[in-house]
Amino acid sequence: MNLKKTAFVNATLYPISSAPVRNGILLVEGGKILAAGTEFSVPDDAQVVDCQGKFILPGFVDAHCHVGIWGEWYGGASQDGNESAGGPVHPEVRAIDSVWPDHFAFADARAGGVTTVQVTPGSGNIVGGQTVVLKTVGTIADRMVVRDPAGMKAALGENPKWSSRMPSTRMGNAAVLRSAMFKAQSYDKKLKAAEEDPAKQPDTDLGMLALVKVIRKEIPLRVHAHRADDIVTAVRIAEEFDIDYSIEHCTDGIAVAEFLGKRKAKVNVGPAIWQRAKIETRCITPKTAGVLAEAGCKVSLISDHPFHPIQYMSTAAGVAWGYGMSEEQALRAVTLTPAETLGVADRVGSLEKGKDADFVIWTGNPLRIRSRIESVYIEGCKVLGNKAG
Chain segment 70-100, per-residue pLDDT in tens = 988 888 888 999 998 889 999 999 999 999 9
pLDDT (tens digit per residue) in 181-240: 999 999 999 999 999 999 999 999 999 999 999 999 999 999 999 999 999 999 999 999
What span, in angstroms and rounded, lies between the C-alpha atoms of 183 and 202? 13
End-to-end CA separation in angstroms for the chain: 5
Strand positions, DSSP E, 80-172: 114-119, 127-135, 145-155
User: pTM value?
Assistant: 0.97
Cβ neighbours of 87 (radius 10 Å): 14
CB neighbours of 24 closer than 8 A, spacing ≥ 6? 11, 12, 13, 36, 37, 38, 56
Distance (Å) of CA 302 to CA 17, 30, 241, 266, 329: 20, 30, 27, 12, 14
CB neighbours of 247 closer than 8 A, spacing ≥ 6? 223, 225, 231, 234, 235, 253, 260, 265, 266, 267, 268
**Ranges under pLDDT 70 in the chain:** 1-2, 164-165, 387-389
- pLDDT at position 75: 82
Distance (Å) of CA 93 to CA 191, 239, 272, 325: 21, 25, 28, 36
CB neighbours of 80 closer than 8 A, spacing ≥ 6? 69, 70, 71, 98, 100
- pLDDT at position 376: 98
Cβ neighbours of 289 (radius 10 Å): 32
